[in-house]
Amino acid sequence: MAVIGNFIVRGIAQWAKIFEENRDMEGFEGSFKDHDGAYTIDLIVDAENAEIYEDSGAAGAVKPAFWDEAHGTFTAKRKEKDGSKNVAAEGKSILRFKRKHIDTNKPANGGAPKVLFEGGVMTATEGMVGNGSDVEVKFMVYTTKMSNGTLLKAVRVLDLVEFKLEAEDDDEDDLPF
């Protein structure tokens, strides 16, 4: 594995699972199970940052972003399962970054990425990074036998929108327990 370089892109965070406490334990069709989970973040970027990503030689695709009104987030899907169409977000793209919890090929590439906030390292006890947070993502591009690989290295939170669980509905007071 030869390192091509380290790169930084800036954008709006979505679905940030970047702490050990909230990492994605499953992945698509169980792809993260053998690695005890993975750290992931979707980044909504402008054309300039999408170009930085593409020019880096990163493995992942730059996908056009669409606004999903029903969920209040961006998505790469043009249509929902119910057939409704999402609105194209002009000049916006989605990038996805991942990092395995346990990297069996190179253990140093496993574990949580460094998360920085207000000049120091941020931990999950200080709050989770919510959708809409302004962040910079540092990633590494490296060569493999098949193609280039991409590794999430660090996230710098510039403007935190703290993740909050949706309030539970208190309209269920008529329950017998």
Please state which architecture CATH assigns to domain 3-77+89-165. Answer: Beta Barrel (2.40)
Render pLDDT for 85-118 as a digit per residue (tens, 0 to 9): 787 888 999 999 999 999 888 888 899 999 999 8
The answer to whether the CB of 155 falls within 8 A of the CB of 64 is no
Using 50, 70 and 90 to split pLDDT, how confident is the model at 176? low
Map tokens 């979707």 to a residue: 42
CA-to-CA separations, 44 to 29, 48, 88, in angstroms, rounded: 24, 12, 13
Q: How does the average pLDDT of the chain come out, rounded? A: 88
Tell me the whole-structure pTM to 2 decimals. 0.85
* Statement: residue 63 has pLDDT above 60: yes
CA-CA-CA-CA dihedral for 43, 34, 27, 129, to nearest 10? -40
